Amino acid sequence: MKPKIIFLAGPTAIGKTEIAVILAKKMNAEIISCDSMQVYKGMDIITAKPSPTLRKRIPQHLMDIVSPTKRYDVSQYRKDALKKIKEISKKGKTPLVVGGTGLYMSILIDGIFKASPQNQKMRQKLFKEAEEKGNAFLYERLKKIDPEAAAKIHSHDTKRIVRALEVFQTSGKPISQLQKQRIGLADEYEIKIFCLNMEREKLYKRIYARVERMFKQGLIKEVKKLLKLKLSKTASYAIGIRELKGYIEGKYNLEEAKRLMKHNSRLYAKRQLTWFRKDKKIKWLEIKDSNKPAVIAKRLWKKLS
């Protein structure tokens, strides 16, 4: 029999972490974070990392592993996550991969394609075009050369639009064609993927409450420290960096900073759900705002049993 890997996905603020810790206890698992921002050291409040108490209850990997001044991308994540998966499986435990970064989860499950190395000069040129002419200009170009890839990429996702165009221009092949040649975890492991969902307005209320909580926990102080560093392009995408930078520089007041964070977090949650809905392998679990983490973990455990 193939060893198992369980994936628990869902939008931001839905409560994945607490549920995962309880579920991990039940199934003798260790957690691997699938969050593109929790990998960074010193970004604790802004990325809503689990509390020290929760982290002590169950081993949780791939958090606090890199400086926010360093670039960390999906290919590095895949390499690190595969290593942890093997280590956990060798101990006779189950890897429980938890997070909301759909691209990281997809690359881990389906594999990564072999494309030409990154062309920094071309990449910078494309980013400059996006700044000068707007995302829509590059997105229209992508739709013409690779409509299949364009259908899976949001028109505002500059990073992925640029990467798709870069791959085509360096390899001469559409990124969607190269991606079909991937070899993923399904060859070696039995994979089950669950995604949490709840009534949209209830989820938004959770997002707003989390943002307020972050400010009470010292978010402004944390972001001020981060802004003193030369943040990598990948780390600078964390929601809260740009929103608070404007407040710290006196461009608008605190209430506007909070409003922007809530608005952008809500948009991010919508993008996450859109991404996960495209994956037919995912089993959805509708939850209520009133459900306690232990109740949801029990439902998941029953589905796994």
Task: Supply the CATH number for residue 297's domain.
Answer: 3.40.50.300
For residue 58, give the DSSP letter. Answer: S
Asked if residue 116 has pLDDT above 70, the reply is: no
Asked if residue 288 has pLDDT above 90, the reply is: yes
In the predicted model, what is the mean pLDDT of residues 194-200?
97
Does 292 share its domain with 208?
A: yes
Does 190 share its domain with 277?
A: yes
Provide the pLDDT for residue 121: 87
Does 232 share its domain with 197?
A: yes
Last residue of a domain, one of 153, 179, 205: 179
Q: What is the mean pLDDT of the chain?
A: 94
pLDDT band, very low/low/confident/very high, at 178 (cuts 50, 70, 90) = confident
In the predicted model, what is the mean pLDDT of residues 79-102?
97
Cα dihedral sign, 68-73-74-76: negative
Provide the pLDDT for residue 115: 63
Does 105 share its domain with 207?
A: yes
Does 96 share its domain with 135?
A: no
Asked if residue 291 has pLDDT above 80, the reply is: yes
Does 167 share its domain with 300?
A: no
Residue 5 contacts by C-beta under 8 Å, 6 or more apart in sequence? 85, 94, 95, 96, 97, 185, 189, 190, 191, 192
Distance CA 143, CA 157 (A): 14
Asked if residue 154 has pLDDT above 70, the reply is: yes
Does 79 share its domain with 165?
A: no
Nearest 5°: the CA angle 227, 228, 233 is: 50
pLDDT in tens, 58-86: 999 999 999 999 999 999 999 999 999 99
Which tokens hold the place of 22? 């309880």
Range of the domain at 226: 4-111+184-304
Domain tally, the chain: 2
Provide the pLDDT for residue 114: 66
Does 103 share its domain with 9?
A: yes
Cα distances (angstroms) measured from residue 191 to each of 78, 222, 240, 283: 16, 37, 34, 11
Provide the pLDDT for residue 19: 98
In the predicted model, what is the mean pLDDT of residues 113-128?
81
- The values of phi and psi at residue 288, to 5°, are -105, 155
CATH of residue 132: 1.10.20.140
Does 271 share its domain with 130?
A: no
Provide the pLDDT for residue 170: 87
The proportion of the chain whose per-residue pLDDT surpasses 70, expressed as a percent, equals 98
Provide the pLDDT for residue 305: 83
Does 147 share its domain with 271?
A: no
In the predicted model, what is the mean pLDDT of residues 188-199?
96
Does 169 share its domain with 198?
A: no
Provide the pLDDT for residue 257: 98
Last residue of a domain, one of 179, 195, 230: 179
Distance CA 192, CA 189 (A): 10
Does 216 share its domain with 80?
A: yes
Q: In this predicted model, which residue has the larger pLDDT, 296 or 188?
A: 296
